[in-house]
Amino acid sequence: MARDGYLPTGNKRLARPRRQPYLKGMSSSLSETQAHQAPSIPFDNSYARLPPQFLADQAPTPVAAPRLIKFNEALARELGLDVDALERNGAAIFSGNELLPGSQPIAMAYAGHQFGNFVPQLGDGRAILLGEVKDRNGRRRDIQLKGSGPTPFSRRGDGRAALGPVLREYVVSEAMHALGIPTTRALAAVTTGEPVYREEVLPGAIFTRVAASHIRVGTFQFFAARGDTDSLRTLADHVIARHYPEIRDRTNPYLALLEAVAERQAALIARWLHIGFIHGVMNTDNMTVSGETIDFGPCAFMDAYDPATVFSSIDRNGRYAYANQPAIGQWNLARLGETLIPLIDPSVDTAIDLANTIIKAYGERFQAYWLSGMRAKIGLANEEDGDLDLIQSLLATMQEQSADFTLAFRRLATLAADEDVTDFAATFQDPQSIAPWLQRWRERLGRDPRTAAARGQAMRKVNPAFIPRNHRIEQAIQAAVEDDDFSLFEALLKVLAKPYENQPAFAPYAEPPLPAERVLQTFCGT
């Protein structure tokens, strides 16, 4: 593996800035009654206990007039939090104006390849990890504020977030969860009462994100770039203990770690493709080692199927196009493999050979996950050699005929239990173009063991009726930003909470955009 991008700069350690003086004043200003009413979150902050070079102590910067606009009660209960108390104090807590006992706010250090170019120091430039909790199932979860002010990693940025990107991340992350895709979650959103200055003046907001962890490929790259093998080992041991305890006693746990991450990424990216999701910025600092989808900046969902689809305004060369995502996942894993070389084996050549075996196997892992999911999408319960060709033939026709990705598969699920082809064929510009494929498909279904009713039911469980369509998200954002109207945002959350159900009352949300409604570009929120 090539060791491109490494900038050995010695064992540099980040200075840990002193906590902001307002914290002491805020905590002492609480009356006895307020302190009694304040919610208690059982923080247990394992990452904050790592050595100083991993992080910087950083409190959120207070905001002028926080207002709680959304609180995820169901997720709060899952985390074992005091829902009533958080609702009462939500504006102050989720804006960072009030820190709860046990919170240890930090900004995490990491590096990363951004569009293929290595940056040796990135880090949380506008995010602050408040702490970790163990949820009702015993899983450790991070609670992080995003848009909570500058940190030592802000690189001259203001550390703030605008309302639009906060609403986008809330909608898409919760939709991904409802679709069954591993993802970070949305706990809350607040407006700050302060403007943020981008290309125009926008209302400010802060997003509260929950994740299995915020450790990225770029976190490993941060220490590899400095030749800090001791910190790499500490980080790898922490990740194994937190995410992959089953490999702790393996003969070579660090090689097993690379394999475990590869397995989860192959499964994750295959599932992205199954629902037409385009991440938009698959930099190594946006790839978690836990296998969760993270950072919903210029992400989008395809309407008409085209494997070359790109929405991200900053992806000018299509590096992260829909069909490129599996290969980028492998490229990112190779960068992780590079960082683990000194841990895998004392012999560099041996370590590279072992790591490359796993990197190469990723392609087979991905293909197996993708093909299995696509078989389910077209209603196949058993396997035959010609299935891949059947699937590719359907996708080719969809591309030629500009068929809507989500609508075509959902209508195919209906067709599986119904002889009327009208609705499905109407998804294609020339309805007759799909007839030869339908004949092949029906012949293949004749060798499938299930009844038509059972097949249709199974297909509806993997082919959503509703996705976060780009034009619907933009409509919700526009109403909130321009008119302080969150009704479209709330409606979108409601329909997307049950993406596999028909929901006749929300039927228009299943439709693709009209030509005038099409969203051609999505933008990063920084």
E-assigned strand segments in 212-326: 277-278, 300-301
Residues that constitute the known binding site for Mg(2+): 286, 295
Q: What is the mean pLDDT of the chain?
A: 91
Confidence of residue 6 (pLDDT cuts 50, 70, 90): very low
Query: Any residues with CB less than 8 A from the CB of 223 and at least 6 apart, and which?
Result: 53, 229, 231, 232, 235, 339
Pairing of strands 127-134, 55-57: unpaired
* Predicted pLDDT at 8: 28
- 279 touches 309 (CB < 8 A): no
Per cent of the chain over pLDDT 70 is 92
Confidence of residue 33 (pLDDT cuts 50, 70, 90): very low
Residues that constitute the known binding site: 123, 125-126, 146, 158-159, 209, 216, 286, 295
Confidence of residue 185 (pLDDT cuts 50, 70, 90): very high
Model confidence pLDDT, tens digit, residues 224-237? 999 999 999 999 99
What phi, psi does 489 have (nearest 5°)?
A: -60, -45
d(CA 429, CA 425): 9
* Predicted pLDDT at 37: 59
Nearest to 54 by CA among 108, 132, 101: 108
Helix (H, G, I), strand (E, B) or coil at 308: coil
Number of separate helices (H) and strands (E) present in the chain: 17, 12
Cα end-to-end distance, the chain, whole Å: 33
Q: Which helix (H) or strand (E) holds 206?
A: strand 201-211
* Predicted pLDDT at 519: 86
Could you list the active site residues? 285
* Predicted pLDDT at 520: 82
Model confidence pLDDT, tens digit, residues 299-345? 999 999 999 999 888 888 899 999 999 999 999 999 999 999 999 99
d(CA 186, CA 170): 5
Query: Any residues with CB less than 8 A from the CB of 415 and at least 6 apart, and which?
Result: 421, 423, 424
Residues that constitute the known binding site for ATP: 123, 125-126, 146, 158-159, 209, 216, 295
Confidence of residue 29 (pLDDT cuts 50, 70, 90): very low
Q: Give the 3-state secondary structure of 446-513.
A: CCCCCCHHHHHHHHHCCCCCCCCCHHHHHHHHHHHHHHCCCHHHHHHHHHHCCCCCCCHHHHHHHCCC
Model confidence pLDDT, tens digit, residues 243-295? 999 999 999 999 999 999 999 999 999 999 999 999 999 999 999 999 999 99
CA distances in angstroms from 77 to 46, 48, 72, 492, listed in the order given: 22, 24, 9, 22
Query: For the residues 375-385, what does the mean pLDDT come to?
Result: 96
